[in-house]
Amino acid sequence: MSVVGRRGLRNCASRVAAQTMGLAMTCVFVVFGSGAAHAVPQDRLPETYSFLAGIPAELAHPGGSLPGSNDFSCRPTARHPRPVVLVHGTGGSQQTNWGAYVAMLANRGYCVFAPTYGALPGAPWPLSAIGGMTRMETGAVQLSRFIDRVLAVTGAETVDLVGHSQGTYMPTYYLKYLGGAPKVTRYISLAPLWRGSFGGTPILPITRALLGGKDTPLCAACGQMGAGSVMNTLIWRGGSPYVDGIDYTNISTRYDEFVVPYTSGQVPGRPGQSVRNIVVQDGCPTDYSDHAALAGSRRAAYMVLNALDPAHPVRVPCEFVPPITG
């Protein structure tokens, strides 16, 4: 990529904070990754709590993995016996979505893995780093193959999932229809949308505008997230979005502009199901996380740590969290 092109991408990222969420995602679509690294690093990795923290790595190493992730020589420990698989949201990738999470988890001894799923087939970079765009059935197959590889090389029996946005929703198709349920122990969701979004998604009009007003959206998965969609019906097969035997934690924000209403992700479990619902503003009125910022907030990240390892809880901070960046 030319120097001018890289400067343009960096300028795009710098303008995100001044844009609406929909425009922010459009910027993020063209700036996604990092180089190879070790899942359990010899030296402590720097931890940066911002939704945009993974973008510089993608610019430096297009299509790579954040330092601390996707080290297939990593072996789980007795303290953390299950690999953690991070499942990005719409328009995200294995790097851009998880700048706040990979170092945090790797520094604490987790084997951390993150795929990019649902990218447009055969697309060059940066389009290849825009995941979650194809139909969710396709993304679920890719996730299934990735998890099988993680289990095979690490020797673990199951994984724990941490998802954001579409990454909280699509894996249920994998659990219910692709044989994934026995392979997952904990399922932790940031900005989940179990009932679908009654507000739709701003990505649909954006992609139609990019395509000159055509009815066929670039993002095939976006329409599957609406309330009442066929996919939503499949997610709720059996009367619940949850699978018995899996431990669920849902972390939502009242200021979510994509999941409308935010309570779509705060679904209680049925008798016998293990489900914990959390709203980040409860007990912390200075948290203004929106849909994106929730994946960059230290407060939400520490809630994820506690959901992964409830036997060794950390103190969850209450601090000012701005929208978009976190």
Average pLDDT, stretch 87-106? 98
Tally the C-alpha atoms within 13 A of residue 162's C-alpha that lie toward its C-beta. 29
Backbone angles phi, psi at 133, to 5 degrees: -100, -30
Q: Is the dihedral of CA 35, 40, 42, 44 positive or negative?
A: positive
DSSP readout, 276-319?
A: EEEETTTT-TTB---TTGGGT-HHHHHHHHHHH-TTS--PPP--
Instruction: Answer whether residue 3 shows pLDDT above 80.
Output: no
Asked if the model's pLDDT at residue 13 lies above 70, the reply is no
> For the chain, how long is the longest CA-to-CA vector?
58
The DSSP code for 92 is -
Banded model confidence at residue 192, pLDDT cuts 50, 70, 90: very high
User: With pLDDT > 70 as the criterion, what percentage of the chain qualifies?
Assistant: 81
Do 286 and 259 touch, CB atoms closer than 8 A?
Answer: no
Count other C-beta atoms under 10 Å from residue 47's C-beta: 17
pLDDT digits (tens, 9 = 90+) for 132-184: 999 999 999 999 999 999 999 999 999 999 999 999 999 999 999 999 999 99
Query: Would the pLDDT of 255 be above 70?
Result: yes
> DSSP state, 128?
G
- The per-residue pLDDT for 326 is 83
- Mean pLDDT score, 12-32: 35
C-alpha–C-alpha distance, residues 261 and 278, integer Å: 15
Task: Identify the architecture of domain 3-308 in CATH.
Answer: 3-Layer(aba) Sandwich (3.40)
Whether residue 118 is predicted with pLDDT greater than 50 in this model: the reply is yes
- With H, G, I as helix, E, B as strand and everything else as coil, classify residue 23: helix
* Alpha carbons 1 and 273: distance in angstroms, whole number: 50
- Is the per-residue pLDDT at 186 higher than 50? yes
Residue 235 has pLDDT above 70, yes or no: yes
User: Would the pLDDT of 287 be above 60?
Assistant: yes
237-244, long-range: CB < 8 A, 24+ apart = 237/176, 238/176, 239/270, 240/267, 240/269, 240/270, 240/273, 241/172, 241/194, 241/267, 242/267, 242/269, 242/270, 242/273, 242/275, 243/172, 243/175, 243/176, 243/181, 244/272, 244/273
Is a pLDDT exceeding 90 seen at residue 206? no
Residue extents of the structural domains in the chain: 3-308
Reported confidence tier of residue 199, pLDDT bands at 50, 70, 90: low
- The 10 Å CB-count burial string (b at 16+, else e) for 256-283 is bbbbbebebbbbebeeeeebbbbbbbee
Taking alpha carbons only, the member of 113, 119, 120 closest to residue 147 is 113
Q: Quick one: pLDDT band at residue 191, thresholds 50, 70, 90?
A: very high
Q: Can you tell me the mean pLDDT for 199-219?
A: 52
Checking if the pLDDT of 217 tops 70, the result is no
How many residues are recorded in the chain? 326
* Residue 176 CA to its chain's centroid (Å): 19
Give the DSSP letter of residue 223: G
**Mean pLDDT computed over 55-69:** 97
Is residue 43 very low, low, confident or very high in pLDDT (cuts 50, 70, 90)? confident
